[in-house]
Structure 1
Amino acid sequence: MVRTLALLLAQLATAPIVSETVETGERHLVDLGSFECRDITRSTVLQRVCYDRAQQDLIVANNGAYDRYCGVTPDTVERLLGAPSMGQFFNQNIKPETTTGSYACRTHEPARKD
């Protein structure tokens, strides 16, 4: 048992660190290497929240799909994570601002093609 555990730990220590990439609703691939991600267990709306503080980019898994929100302040993310109802806060304060509002991502990245 100890030998198996030691072998497993050795494999984990030498395994390459692979960053995760997700596809957003806009069909853009986003590397989550610079994001801090949290799996959400207390919300029926949000499953995962990933935030890049330097870029102020928020990636949210909502109903199994990832969406990207740009220009989201750290204060807004803290309020989201601390809200009594994360889904209600998200739906009222972040989601409506994506089309033309303050959290719309204006990017010139090419969309992913199949």
Structure 2
Amino acid sequence: MVVLLKQARLLSCWVLLLVSVSPLYAETVEVKYRGPVDLAKFECSGELDSSVVKRVCYNAEHSYMLIRLKQTWYHYCEIDQGTVSALLAAESKGRFYNSSIKDSGTDSKFSCRDKPVPDL
């Protein structure tokens, strides 16, 4: 019995050591028209209860938003915190996205096509 307790303590010490030296989990998403982006520098919503807008991640320092629409991630540049907050608070996130954010060609207000994309 004493031997088993010592082995259990030793095992728990190893588990603690492994957990403390393991790298933190970093989530990376594949963004359409950009490629992989690490979400470590973003504030992200949880899964949203919307048929279209599933998740929103925002980097305030660079005014840069990632948004998952169904299963595809997209990015938007020079988008202000107020617009992102309004999207998250909207009764219909899909309707707000379509009317206030969605690209409608190269003249879209938040399109990254004609703006510098932050290197995060």
TM-score > 0.5 by shorter chain:
yes
2:4 is matched with: none
> Larger RCO: Structure 1 or Structure 2 (Cα < 8 Å, ≥ 6 residues apart)?
1
Check if 1:99 corresponds to 2:106: yes
Superposition deviation, residue 18 in structure 1: 3.1
- The percentage of counterpart residues that share the same residue type is 32
> What do the CA deviations read for 1:30-52 (whole angstroms, capped 9, x no partner)?
22111011123321111111000
Quote the RMSD (CA, aligned, Å).
2.5
Superposition deviation, residue 98 in structure 1: 6.5
Superposition deviation, residue 90 in structure 1: 0.7
Matches within 5 A, 1:1-114: 10=16, 12-96=19-103, 99-105=106-112, 106-107=115-116
Question: Which structure has the larger Rg over C-alpha atoms?
Answer: 2
How many residues end up aligned between the 2 structures? Answer: 104
> What do the CA deviations read for 1:50-97 (whole angstroms, capped 9, x no partner)?
000111111001020000001110000110111111111011100135
Q: Which runs of 5+ in 1 are unaligned?
A: 110-114
Superposition deviation, residue 25 in structure 1: 1.2
Q: Which runs of 5+ in 2 are unaligned?
A: 1-7
Contact kept in structure 2, 1:22 and 1:32, CA below 8 Å: yes
* TM-score, scaled to structure 2: 0.72
* TM-score, scaled to structure 1: 0.76
Q: Give SS of 1:60's match.
A: strand
